[in-house]
Amino acid sequence: MRMAGYFVVFLMVLGLLSVAGGAQVEELPGLILTDLQLISQESLPHWTPAWTGPVQGATIAAWFAEHGYPALMHDFNGDGVVDELDTIELADDFGLGIMQTGTPRGTTDVRLVVGLATYVAGIYTNEFVLKIYDLGFPTEFAAQGYGTFASDVIPGIILELKEEPSIEAYIHELSTGEGVIVGLEDGAVDRNRYLAGRSFLYERTPEGYTPLDFAWASEDRWTPGHQGQVLETVGKTEDRFYLEFQGNWVPVEFMLALSPIVEHEVGTQQHDCPEYAIAYDVTTTTLGRYGSVQIEECVLRDGDVDIYFWTVTNINFLKDGCGLCFFRIPNPGFPTLAHGEAPPWIFTSAWGSWIWWLPGGSCGLQPGQSAVFQIVVPGPTTDTWINASIGQCQPPIGTIAQLFSAQTTGPGLPDDGCPDLVIRILDESCVYDVRAQEYRLTVWGEVENIGTEPVTSLFDVRLASTSHPGNDTTTVLPPVLPGGTVPVTLSFTLPPEPTGGAPCPMAYELRVDSGSSIDECDELNNLATGDICCDSGSLGACCLPDGSCANLTAAECEARSGTQFHPGVDCSVVQCPQSTGECPDLTVEIRSVSCELDRKSGIYEITVSALVTNIGAQTITDPIWVQADCDRGDDMTVIHTDLDPGDSQVVEFSITFSINEPGCPIPVTVEVDYLDFIDECDETNNIAAGSACCD
């Protein structure tokens, strides 16, 4: 039997997304269920702190009612709407009825399980399983007069006995979207204080505790009317699972998880934008090499509110047999008045985002299918260009395998309207070129337009050292849309220190719009600084012309005509090219592979630098043919210089292709003597492999 879990919202580091079409595999620090209702134990006059069982049982039923099982909640109070007041009515029915809260014993673990299971089974027969984390539960079940415990003791639902409660079990159940209730010992016989699981973080506190929070029935005195609280706490595992509760470590004696057995199918939807819409935009984005997605945005104005619709259509995206299961729109600070989505899509609003995702186990929105998402916010808003996020499903658990950035439009705060460029440093490198006897500083960065208007003019990005000579400038071509990003790579060479050592530290700065050609909202946020110690004089494995290896410095390796140098690597883990006799023998080593986009022409260029070495014992006087090849094209060059034993020659290649063909990774091979003109000692060591990323 395959269990379905609901895929819940993750606390993501979404600022790491690359330019449109780029992908970034994200780590998932934790999750939170923002739609979980908060019901107070003071909602009705006859309720007391003993009513936490019915309250949390009704809370879980209400959550599932909003996520694909609507019959679990209806208009109990007859006011014409289904809301938290009806959840209160259901909790009251539970407590006055099958959960027996008003009796002297009150709601026990057994009565909570029987009450919730009986209610769910009567509405969705044979569609749910209720997992019980308490090895002593069968004994309690019999002792309270319900007979012998069995998985089918309550018709229409499976009762599954699990191990004792643990943090790991809590995280597992919540991360698959189950309705989780924990019971804390409160001193009463057979009765606990119940909380509904709401969130967790993977990263522990410095003390080793796990951050957790729960829906808590205690009255929130700072909120008008009656509302429960969110209990922000931590958990730990010692001899058992403990929660920090009101200054004390309290054991988690019991835990249950309500779970659907089979997930809902993902359907397709359409939204027709009316003629009176105040905005309508359509964008198409290529998501890596896996296909494309179209996003239609339609904005309606109704009095003092603006209603945004996004229709996301999977045109032809498919990876590992799955489609799309995640959609994110950045929220610049609007309160969410309402939202809309069709089951089984789930919504959350948190951390500056509106997010929709699909239940776990789903293979997502398939090619040709569409989904419609809606947000209602106070108006008037400014419809502005933004970066959305599209997530690829990964079976069988419904996690996000990759996030892609996609251009669309969305609500922006009214302002003066201007572009604003910022620069970030993503990576850095400073290495010593033994043959050129110079250092090369390389910095990889990202330019983002955080303003509300596009950049429509050329601008420069400049790399310079504040303590050493050298600089580099690159020009960025427009447009850069609001929320759009552009990767940049800059580098320059510099000599060793006068003492012969490596520059350390070397301070540098990366400045966007260095010529002040763009009129920005903020001209003071254009600079990023860093410092680095250049790597040179450390020992490394040096491959000598006779095939032996010695641990030398880079300078010593060059002086002894070393064919390869591996800084910081010991000879014990290096296999050097071997000479096999009195004959020439060519090897090739790829030194660098990069891919750049000429935005003016729309052409990608893969640049390859390789080192050809004669490790044999005879000089090569014939022309040496060398070819670089990939599935986007090839390039060839010829070495005419005599190559003596131990000598090397650097060769460069350039392979260009259209903007419609980017990819990552693109395998690249370089083959020396690919026409087999040279009679070598060893004909099997003439190929080197590498790869380039052009996304």
Alpha-carbon gap, residue 17 to 226, rounded angstroms: 41
User: Maximum Cα–Cα distance for the chain, whole Å?
Assistant: 102
Half-sphere exposure of 359 (CA within 13 A, CB side): 22
**What is the DSSP code string of 595-653?**
EEEETTTTEEEEEEEEEEEE-SSS-B-S-EEEEEEETTEEEEEEE-S-B-TT-EEEEEE
The domain made up of 36-260 has a fold known as: Cathepsin B; Chain A (3.90.70)
Report the length, in residues, of the chain.
695
Percent of the chain at pLDDT > 90 equals 48
According to the model, what pLDDT value does residue 25 have? 41
Question: Tokens representing 619?
Answer: 């000089």
Alpha-carbon gap, residue 76 to 91, rounded angstroms: 11
Q: Which residue from 677, 581, 672, 658 is spatially nearest to 629, judged by alpha carbons?
A: 672
Half-sphere exposure of 155 (CA within 13 A, CB side): 1
Who contacts 167 (Cβ-Cβ below 8 Å, separation ≥6)?
210, 212, 235, 236, 237, 241
Q: Is the peptide bond before 479 cis (omega within 30 degrees of 0)?
A: yes
Alpha-carbon gap, residue 195 to 1, rounded angstroms: 29
Question: Tokens representing 592?
Answer: 């660098």
Block residue for tokens 């690919």: 674
Alpha-carbon gap, residue 553 to 434, rounded angstroms: 10
According to the model, what pLDDT value does residue 182 have? 97
Task: Please check whether residue 503 is in contact with residue 494, taking contact to mean a CB–CB distance below 8 angstroms.
Answer: yes
CATH no., domain 421-532: 2.60.40.10
Looking at the chain, the domain(s) classified CATH 2.60.40.10 span 421-532, 577-692
The secondary element (H helix, E strand) that includes residue 555 is helix 554-559
Task: Please check whether residue 377 is in contact with residue 337, taking contact to mean a CB–CB distance below 8 angstroms.
Answer: yes
In tens, the pLDDT along 645-656 reads 888 999 999 998
Residue type, 32: I
Q: Which residue from 312, 526, 284 is spatially nearest to 422, judged by alpha carbons?
A: 526
How many helices (H) and strands (E) would you count in the chain? 6, 38
Task: Please check whether residue 381 is in contact with residue 413, taking contact to mean a CB–CB distance below 8 angstroms.
Answer: yes
Alpha-carbon gap, residue 433 to 440, rounded angstroms: 7
Please, what is the end-to-end C-alpha distance for the chain in angstroms?
41
Question: Tokens representing 6?
Answer: 């609901």
Distance of CA 145 to the CA centre of its chain: 50
Question: Tokens representing 554?
Answer: 């880079």
Q: Which residue from 498, 428, 435, 434 is spatially nearest to 465, judged by alpha carbons?
A: 428
- The conformational region for residue 602 under phi > 0 = left, psi -120 to 50 = alpha, else beta, is left
Question: Tokens representing 290?
Answer: 């896996």
Task: Please check whether residue 245 is in contact with residue 184, taking contact to mean a CB–CB distance below 8 angstroms.
Answer: yes
Alpha-carbon gap, residue 521 to 449, rounded angstroms: 10
Alpha-carbon gap, residue 437 to 195, rounded angstroms: 67
- The conformational region for residue 419 under phi > 0 = left, psi -120 to 50 = alpha, else beta, is beta
Block residue for tokens 């003439």: 686
The domain made up of 279-412 has a fold known as: Immunoglobulin-like (2.60.40)
For 334-363, b where at least 16 C-beta lie within 10 A, e where not — what string? beeeebebeebbbbbbeeebbbbbbbbbbb
Per run of 10 residues, the mean pLDDT along the chain (length 695 residues) is 34 34 46 87 94 96 90 93 95 95 91 97 96 96 95 96 96 84 78 91 90 94 88 94 93 95 81 94 87 95 95 92 88 89 82 78 86 94 87 60 81 77 90 75 91 87 92 90 89 84 87 90 88 74 80 77 70 70 86 84 87 90 89 87 88 83 83 86 88 82
Alpha-carbon gap, residue 113 to 130, rounded angstroms: 8
According to the model, what pLDDT value does residue 11 have? 37
Q: Which residue from 531, 529, 511 is spatially nearest to 520, judged by alpha carbons?
A: 511
Question: Tokens representing 582?
Answer: 């009195």
Class of the domain covering 577-692? mainly beta
Alpha-carbon gap, residue 185 to 249, rounded angstroms: 10
Alpha-carbon gap, residue 17 to 448, rounded angstroms: 11
According to the model, what pLDDT value does residue 218 have? 93
Alpha-carbon gap, residue 502 to 387, rounded angstroms: 42
Pairing status of strand 128-133 against strand 158-162 = parallel
DSSP state of 113: H
Half-sphere exposure of 457 (CA within 13 A, CB side): 12
Alpha-carbon gap, residue 26 to 24, rounded angstroms: 6
Question: Tokens representing 612?
Answer: 């050809």
**What is the DSSP code string of 173-212?**
HHHTT-EEEEEEE-SSTT-EEEEEEEEEESSPPTTSPEEE
DSSP state of 323: -
Alpha-carbon gap, residue 135 to 145, rounded angstroms: 18
Looking at the chain, the domain(s) classified CATH 2.60.40.1170 span 279-412
Q: Which residue from 490, 327, 389 is spatially nearest to 24, judged by alpha carbons?
A: 389
Residue type, 461: V
DSSP state of 322: B
- The conformational region for residue 217 under phi > 0 = left, psi -120 to 50 = alpha, else beta, is alpha
The secondary element (H helix, E strand) that includes residue 507 is strand 506-512
According to the model, what pLDDT value does residue 543 have? 84
Q: Is the peptide bond before 344 cis (omega within 30 degrees of 0)?
A: yes
Task: Please check whether residue 109 is in contact with residue 161, taking contact to mean a CB–CB distance below 8 angstroms.
Answer: no
Looking at the chain, the domain(s) classified CATH 3.90.70 span 36-260
CB atoms within 10 A of CB 49: 12
